[in-house]
Amino acid sequence: MTVIKAAVCRAFGAPLVVEDLVLAPPGPGEVLVDIRACAICHSDIAFAEGAWGGALPAVYGHEAAGVVAATGAGVSRVRPGDHAVVTLIRSCGACHYCGRDSPVMCEAEFALDRTSPLGDGNGATYVQAMRTGAFAEKVVVHESQLVAIPPDIGFAPASLLACGVITGYGAVMNTARVRPGDTVAVVGCGGVGLNSVQGAVLAGAGLVVAVDLSDDKLAAARRFGANHAVNPARDSAADAVRALTGGRGVDHVFVAVGAKAALDSALGLIARNGAVVVVGMPPSGVMAEYDPATLAACNQRILGSKMGEARIDLDIPRLVEHYRSGRLELDALITGRYPLARINEAIAAVKDGRALRNVIVFD
């Protein structure tokens, strides 16, 4: 057993509390990782506010990078000393979905799913939220959740690859399979949406329209490669998109925010044969509306995209190479770096829209 400091959620909507917890050693197929950086994702905030329910007390944080400290029996993917990205994607490689190249949908149950490695040392356990629990100095995860990265990549930018980047980029590349010359709109230009913008640029999209209520985020989207920016508080996004596309609409709309208004309006932005890709997740119970007759008559599609349908063994090394070559921006996504003791301050800045990604850093 190892004693670690972790930020614990004890009540939905309340500040997190930094406490000493006990972490079990890695079992077969498991890995102990010293966390060096963990970015704050909106999903962590939504969970901590109770948007999707769940049990408490829990340790959130799932967008992380660190150094492999120890491995359990049978681990072959990483070795102690490796630098690695830590993701929430836990996969067996053999089930129905893994066999169809969809590890994000793996249906296997793991030992870590049955018993959390986090406890208080007196028999009480803490939820390892999103299979990671990386608002903590160390984590124990299954080896399938890790991808080794070159040691010259900084931990803070590397942590973004664990969720925000692969989700936004993967929605473009894996879910929608945007082709060169396609037209794209991205609704919601936070950390995930900006990576859909970057993914669209990397895919060779002929037009990338950013849509957001924040002028600051629209300016960021332009810096990340968007051709046009629309604030729907002032201008009609549908009118702007149709004016830019000869009245047709775009081929793909990526909704990277969990707002009902954004989901309801997205179908009004797409062309015939177009697709709405739902990337952002609203709270449980939020329902969107659409006209099925138009959907059928115009041969349109609505696609869900969990974690960008990422295959981390393929996508993360590819993204690392894009970053090293200057084709992918990571550092500019980081607004601030905070120690664990200031995690509530970092979360507040993200909630208020003052940050793209704040990162908790560990010495």
pLDDT at 355 exceeding the cut of 90? no
pLDDT tens figures, 203-257: 999 999 999 999 999 999 999 999 999 999 999 999 999 999 999 999 999 999 8
Query: How far, in Å, CA of 169 to CA of 274, rounded?
Result: 18
pLDDT-based confidence at residue 118 (cuts at 50, 70, 90): very high
pLDDT-based confidence at residue 359 (cuts at 50, 70, 90): very high
pLDDT at 354: 81
Q: Which are the contacts of 272, defined by CB distance < 8 A and separation ≥ 6?
A: 248, 249, 298, 299, 300
Give the residues across from 278 on adjacent strands. Answer: 255, 304
pLDDT at 224: 96
pLDDT at 202 exceeding the cut of 90? yes
pLDDT at 150: 97
pLDDT at 161: 97
% of the chain with per-residue pLDDT over 70: 100
pLDDT-based confidence at residue 358 (cuts at 50, 70, 90): very high
pLDDT at 290: 85
pLDDT at 210: 97
Q: CA separation (Å) from 94 to 37, 100, 103, 130, 280? A: 31, 9, 9, 21, 28
Number of H helices, E strands in the chain: 11, 18
pLDDT at 2 exceeding the cut of 90? yes
Q: What is the pTM of this model?
A: 0.93
3-state secondary structure of 60: coil
pLDDT tens figures, 136-182: 999 999 999 999 999 999 999 999 999 999 999 999 999 999 999 99
pLDDT at 352 exceeding the cut of 90? no
Mean pLDDT of the chain: 95
Choice between 123 and 27, residue whose per-residue pLDDT is larger = 27
Nearest to 197 by CA among 232, 163, 169, 166: 169
pLDDT at 66 exceeding the cut of 90? yes
Show the domains of the chain with their CATH numbers: 2-161+330-361 (3.90.180.10), 167-306 (3.40.50.720)
DSSP annotation string for 282-313: PPTT------HHHHHHTT-EEEE-SGGG--HH
Q: Which are the contacts of 348, defined by CB distance < 8 A and separation ≥ 6?
A: none
pLDDT-based confidence at residue 110 (cuts at 50, 70, 90): very high
